[in-house]
Amino acid sequence: PLTGEGTRALLAKDPKNSLKGMGAYFLTLNRNKKSVCVDLKSAAGLEIFYDLVRHADVVLDNFSAGVPAKLKIDYAHLKDINPRIITCSVTGFGQDGPNFQRPAFDQVVQGIGGGMSITGESADKPTRAGIPIGDLGGGMFAVMGILAALQARHRKGHGQHVDISMLDCQISMLNYMATMYFLSGENPVPLGNGHFVHVPYNTFRTSDGFVIIAVIFDSFWDNLVGLLDIEALKDPKFKTQPERLANKAYIEGILNDVLSTQTTAYWVEKLTEVRVPCAPVNNFAQALSDPQVLHRKMVIEIEHPEGGKVNAPGNPIKLSVDSDDRYAPPPLLGQHTEEVLRSLLGLDEERINELRAQNVVR
């Protein structure tokens, strides 16, 4: 819209989390994008949008269910303009059903979707995921849906609508645990950082922090016992997973006592040497300076369009041929309106100025 989208204002005036009037949200989410401001509620603005659709492959929205139809920018309207268009809507609950018009945000769908009930230390204190998995899950599944629709169009020639519900995504990510519930009829409970099958598979305190040990296979257990050389853990009955699970508290108690005597770095080095899956529990400073993370170009620089730079997460998708890690700055409001209307739609300066004067574009 002519006033800018919602994320443009988030943290924009926070001195610790902004750069030249752009907050961390906007800086991160809008790199490599162009900003065109069009008033979709005006007839002239809607015509401009339709003209853009004629050149487009995909139209993505995160409006509440029903809003695209009211604005006449849903698939039913756009397919008549461009039969090959793919539209995608990301909403809280999808486009239909008994509750599809309820408002939703990240923690709302985390709660309804069941994930919070198995997160944290206790069923009495449900805990949301530290990252906004409700929001991010919707975005990731939207990409998968759009790519599937593009492939279908490549093979069959038609466009279609991709309907992504954030709640559907949360249910999908319950995965095998949902199947376990259907088989047993029992609701799973939070296990903290432990595992409901494997032992030891948990986070243990060290002298200066925490270390994760993840023993999945019995061979890893043998390697761990050989390293620690603790007589109590050499009992032959612990060599198989069922007995380790039956003695989970006993085994983890011994490990907590031993691992707390040395630093996290010490244990990560020793455990890695004998091929026991392990990891430190990094804070952001440690995670974002990890040599593997840096080698994979997962920390990159974003430039501000008016000067200055900020670091941000890179692109996790690495293509063998078309992997190009250049990042364009996030745009100023309406920065590319004239450029796009000229290059894509062929409008001249007189027409663009006329539209500006009518508050149709900015």
Q: Which residues contact 178 (CB under 8 A, 6 or more apart)?
A: 114, 171
* 51 is annotated as an active-site residue: no
Q: How many CB atoms lie within 10 A of CB 80?
A: 10
Q: Which residue has the tokens 């018009």?
A: 101
Per-residue pLDDT of the chain (362 residues; tens, 9 = 90+): 899 988 999 999 999 999 999 999 999 999 999 999 999 999 999 999 999 999 999 999 999 999 999 999 999 999 999 999 999 999 999 999 999 999 999 999 999 999 999 999 999 999 999 999 999 999 999 999 999 999 999 999 999 999 999 999 999 999 999 999 999 999 999 999 999 999 999 999 999 999 999 999 999 999 999 999 999 999 999 999 999 999 999 999 999 999 999 999 999 999 999 999 999 999 999 999 999 999 999 999 999 999 999 999 999 999 999 877 889 999 999 999 999 999 999 999 999 999 999 999 99
HEC readout, 61-114: ECCCCCHHHHHCCCHHHHHHHCCCCEEEEEECCCCCCCCCCCCCCHHHHHHHCC
Q: Which pLDDT belongs to residue 1?
A: 83
Q: What is the pTM of this model?
A: 0.93
Residue 312 pLDDT: 97
Neighbouring residues of 98: CB distance < 8 A, sequence distance ≥ 6:
none
CA-nearest of 106, 126, 108, 105 to 116 is: 126
Per-residue pLDDT, 326? 87
Q: Is 298 helix (H, G, I), strand (E, B) or coil?
A: coil
> Using CA atoms, how far apart are residues 247 and 249, in angstroms rounded to an integer?
6
The token duo for 13 is 């005036």
DSSP type of residue 39: -
Structure tokens at 39: 């008033």
Task: Determine phi and psi for 245, rounding to 5 degrees.
Answer: -65, -40
Cα 283 to Cα 263: distance, rounded to the nearest angstrom: 16
Secondary structure class of 62 (helix, strand, coil): coil
Point out the catalytic residue in the list 39, 74, 106, 135.
135
pLDDT of residue 323: 78
Report the chain's terminal Cα–Cα distance, integer Å.
9
Cα 264 to the center of its chain, rounded Å: 28
Q: How far apart are CA 255 and CA 213, in angstroms?
A: 10
CB atoms within 10 A of CB 265: 13
- For residues 114 and 172, give the distance between their C-alpha atoms in angstroms, rounded to a whole number: 11
3-state SS class at 275: coil
Residue range 205-249, pLDDT digits in tens:
999 999 999 999 999 999 999 999 999 999 999 999 999 999 999
